Structure 1
């Protein structure tokens, strides 16, 4: 049996991966340590889905933290966010390097908005409003130059992780964001399939606009192979990643020492959680996308993931009347006659006592959470029979 071709191909792939890793490291070092980089860089990383944008962002964050000690991270990819469950636009300030760049982390953001969907198509205007407000908040709080000698007050760099949807509405959101932010660096991740890539140059600028002082850098994708044969697999992988993030988020409801060795253990744990009860009459339901009336909205809440907020928390700006989100909940049941919503959430009871706004979402619920409702109903039925 001749295996020479396989060995040669494997060696070629390894060499390509090593070359790509060196290329990425060199670009990250250039962004972080360029002698002309003052003020600190504002870097947008963009490119098609499954090209390695998030992986490069992690490498860049680690490199920037080594120099600046603190780095801002604006995540506008509502479908595949880096540090939150899906459906969020969030701003983080990181002070520690990730020890393992392959691990997915959940982190508490400085500020976040709940978009309630995994793509921009339903409401691009709302998504852009969230992005602009979080960027303005970053400029106000973390991009100050009045006290350059004070490390606690001096400006910090910003990395912006963008969506992999680079056509249609996704392209529109990306171009509007780049116009508003005017980053110092744009990292364009490209694949070998040219029609999948973003246009070259400053594609977000109008033809007659003066070219801004910007560093455009092109890097190759992490897996530079035609994705057409694997498009369904990529979509499945994205859904699995979203489900894992949601399960990790609601796993925080369980004791740390709760043993989970299989899927059934996770379901059993979720079923055992005593739900928090919200008074339905004090809750204002906001549907961010479908405009369902307040009265009818209550009928569509059971078995859904919702965002939660409090009217005591003021909005970030006049343009954005939506308050910041304090966390997610999964609604097990709505009892209109009892004026009660039963939900599970890792948000503290102290904060939950203040919640009077919930946001409906279009986010698909992981099967383990839906199984919680089924198991609860079966348990209630069993008790009635006996």
Structure 2
């Protein structure tokens, strides 16, 4: 029994929600009809608990299938990459708490270059569709049951909390394209913030009997809207810093990446920015998108116009950089500590990141 009536009631509601979530995850993972393995989209407004439920679902699915694919479409708050990416991962172990900075190397990814899908919704959808096509072709090979290297694995799709206007249109198009077996709809107590009821993404109002729509209560005690925005900015900065900390195990080289640098305008525009790195020789993942996959991020420390040389800080290996010939511009805000390295030496940069590592 709780110490106070209100506290006891809140604790009881929280336990009920936890049981509801666990039952939903187990129903998806252990449904006897779940063959081929489930394709699950987790949807709901921002700050409703999509990441927490996705973690629970991933861990439950790993218990049955040993491997689980995870398609992260939220460029503002991705779980395993710095912001600005749409990516697909394969997990073979229990996922750690998503509140921690848990960076993983994706199977494939595209660099969208912004933390908001509003920049170019059509382009972002083409990236998502292409990664889904890759999943179907290379990972979702349930017909090859005799081939252990291509054994069947489920997919969890993490979606953005932008569920109004263009955001709702994007989600609708995504669900139509992926045709998930299960859609998890998180529902808040503020009805105006929720997604439309029923199978809103289907053209036929009766829906599809083969789709399992599961509605669960959202996480309670969410911070106020302004605090959420502030926290999101901080988390994005921390993820970018954590990404570039990966340089530390090496000797922290400043890579001289040769490129065609035409004039001072380009020099001025790119210096001190974060860019995506790619190679034009990479094969497109599908006919949905011809953009090459991204191999990592770089921070442009300087550009030597006279030598056609770009000085780039990146954890990407030299072997991969040898074939790199494309930079994707980004609109990502550069954390202050990275801006300070523009005038620093490589030794100064390493010392600064080590200091951040000690206090982070």
- Work out whether the TM-score is over 0.5: yes
C-alpha distance in structure 1 between counterparts of 2:148 and 2:12, whole Å: 41
> Which of 53, 56, 65 is the matching residue for 1:56?
53
Residue in 1 that maps onto 2:351: none
Answer yes or no: is 1:301 the counterpart of 2:286: no
Contact 2:51 2:98 in 1 (8 A): no
Residue in 2 that maps onto 1:252: 246
Decide which moves more: 317-326 or 40-49.
317-326
Residue in 1 that maps onto 2:184: 187
Q: CA deviation at 1:102?
A: 4.4
Answer yes or no: is 1:107 the counterpart of 2:104: yes
Q: CA deviation at 1:255?
A: 2.8
Q: CA deviation at 1:207?
A: 4.4
Q: CA deviation at 1:74?
A: 0.5
C-alpha distance in structure 2 between counterparts of 1:28 and 1:76, whole Å: 20
Deviation readout 1:285-324 (Å, 9 max, x if unpaired) = xxxxxxxxx9954431111110000112122233311100
Q: 1:102 to 1:371 in 2, by over 3 A?
A: same
Answer yes or no: is 1:322 the counterpart of 2:291: yes
C-alpha distance in structure 2 between counterparts of 1:100 and 1:75, whole Å: 16
Q: 1:14 to 1:36 in 2, by over 3 A?
A: same
Q: CA deviation at 1:99?
A: 5.0
Residue in 1 that maps onto 2:170: 173
C-alpha distance in structure 2 between counterparts of 1:61 and 1:243, whole Å: 26
* Local SS of the residue matching 1:325: coil
C-alpha distance in structure 2 between counterparts of 1:45 and 1:208, whole Å: 21
Superposition RMSD on alpha carbons, in Å? Answer: 2.4
C-alpha distance in structure 2 between counterparts of 1:9 and 1:334, whole Å: 61
Q: 1:340 to 1:101 in 2, by over 3 A?
A: closer
Where does structure 2 lack aligned partners over 5 or more consecutive residues? 349-360
> Which of 218, 221, 234 is the matching residue for 1:240?
234
C-alpha distance in structure 1 between counterparts of 2:253 and 2:105, whole Å: 24
C-alpha distance in structure 2 between counterparts of 1:45 and 1:244, whole Å: 25
Answer yes or no: is 1:363 the counterpart of 2:332: yes
Q: CA deviation at 1:209?
A: 7.4
C-alpha distance in structure 2 between counterparts of 1:375 and 1:334, whole Å: 14
Deviation readout 1:44-98 (Å, 9 max, x if unpaired) = 0010111110111111000001000111111100110111111111111111112
* Local SS of the residue matching 1:307: strand
Q: CA deviation at 1:223?
A: 2.2
C-alpha distance in structure 1 between counterparts of 2:179 and 2:172, whole Å: 10
C-alpha distance in structure 1 between counterparts of 2:216 and 2:145, whole Å: 32
* Local SS of the residue matching 1:337: helix
Q: TM-score, normalised by structure 1?
A: 0.84
Residue in 1 that maps onto 2:301: 332
Deviation readout 1:102-143 (Å, 9 max, x if unpaired) = 433111111111111111111111111111111011001111
Where does structure 1 lack aligned partners over 5 or more consecutive residues? 257-271, 285-293, 380-386
Alignment of 1:82-161 (within 5 A): 82-98=79-95, 100=97, 102-161=99-158
Q: CA deviation at 1:371?
A: 1.8
Residue in 2 that maps onto 1:20: 17
C-alpha distance in structure 1 between counterparts of 2:86 and 2:181, whole Å: 21
Deviation readout 1:11-45 (Å, 9 max, x if unpaired) = 33333222221111111001000111111100000
| Residue-pair matches, total | 346
* Local SS of the residue matching 1:106: coil
C-alpha distance in structure 2 between counterparts of 1:196 and 1:374, whole Å: 46
Contact 1:192 1:224 in 2 (8 A): no
Q: CA deviation at 1:374?
A: 5.0
Contact 1:120 1:169 in 2 (8 A): no
Answer yes or no: is 1:199 the counterpart of 2:193: no
C-alpha distance in structure 1 between counterparts of 2:205 and 2:55, whole Å: 35
Decide which moves more: 173-182 or 294-303.
294-303
Q: 1:313 to 1:36 in 2, by over 3 A?
A: same
Q: CA deviation at 1:366?
A: 1.0
C-alpha distance in structure 1 between counterparts of 2:181 and 2:211, whole Å: 5
C-alpha distance in structure 1 between counterparts of 2:14 and 2:53, whole Å: 14
* Local SS of the residue matching 1:243: helix
